[in-house]
């Protein structure tokens, strides 16, 4: 079962901020006199290497790095608190454990759309869904948006469900606004650059596990 941190609408900002702060504290811990290695190391290609696991183009200054320090929700992402009335923010992330267990993209997309932001109170609708390619892999692109009139907020999201070997991973961008607010395209453009540039620098746990099973004849 996928373990999910259940943020309640935009009020989950508090939880996100806590994770950001916690990550900063943890990455700042090191042996006395030892300089801690930064989470993101610039490359010659205009990208960054994240913990020697992933490479991607990061968004510009003003975006805070998020990492799931307890595991099970998402691997990494970025958060920007934007100008305007509450709530005005955008997050995007790489999630290696998206909702569902189906290996078929169509079936996984159908299930995912029933669970995404399910506890936020947002009445979501799918505005577009189509097959595509992401980093050379088969994928499903999903656009969703909706409103929560009780909290006077709305959200717009872009999701990529990507078939990677026998698993499905995801990239997710969500923008929150007050009901009378205007969505901004620029954060979604940064998200697209993040996704397009994303590279895996090493095999993950699941790939190594599947290799061991294959070697064992299982």
CATH of the domain at 149: 3.40.1000.10
* 92 within some domain: yes
Query: Which residue range(s) make up the domain with 77?
Result: 9-200
Tally of domains within the chain: 1
pLDDT digits 0-9 by tens, 57-90: 999 999 999 976 544 456 899 999 999 999 999 9
Please name which of 88, 218, 96 lies closest in space to residue 168, comparing C-alpha atoms: 96
* 50 within some domain: yes
Cis preceding linkage at 87, omega within 30: yes
pLDDT of residue 19: 45
Distance CA 69, CA 92 (A): 17
Distance CA 76, CA 54 (A): 10
* 209 within some domain: no
Q: What's the whole-number mean pLDDT along residues 28-44?
A: 75
Neighbours of 143 (CB within 10 A): 15
Distance CA 174, CA 117 (A): 10
* 152 within some domain: yes
- 160 pLDDT more than 70: yes
């Amino acid at each position: 079962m996928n373990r999910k941190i259940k943020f309640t609408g935009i009020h989950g900002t508090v939880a996100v901020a806590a994770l950001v702060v916690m990550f900063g504290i943890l990455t700042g811990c090191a042996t006395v006199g030892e300089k801690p290695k930064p989470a993101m190391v610039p490359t010659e290609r205009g990208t960054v290497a994240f913990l020697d696991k992933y490479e991607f183009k990061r968004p510009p200054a003003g975006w805070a790095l998020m990492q799931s320090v307890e595991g099970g929700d998402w691997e990494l992402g970025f958060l920007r608190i934007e100008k305007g009335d509450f709530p005005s923010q955008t997050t995007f992330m790489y999630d290696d454990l998206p909702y569902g267990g189906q290996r078929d993209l169509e079936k996984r997309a159908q299930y995912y759309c029933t669970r995404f932001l399910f506890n936020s109170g947002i009445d979501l609708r799918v505005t577009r869904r189509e097959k595509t390619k992401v980093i050379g892999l088969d994928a499903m692109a999903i656009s969703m948006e909706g409103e929560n009139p009780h909290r006077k907020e709305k959200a717009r999201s872009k999701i990529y469900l990507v078939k990677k070997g026998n698993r499905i991973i995801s990239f997710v961008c969500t923008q929150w606004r007050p009901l009378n607010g205007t969505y901004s395209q620029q954060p979604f453009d940064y998200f697209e650059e993040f996704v397009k540039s994303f590279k895996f620098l090493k095999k993950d746990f699941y790939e190594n596990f599947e290799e061991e099973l294959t070697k064992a004849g299982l």
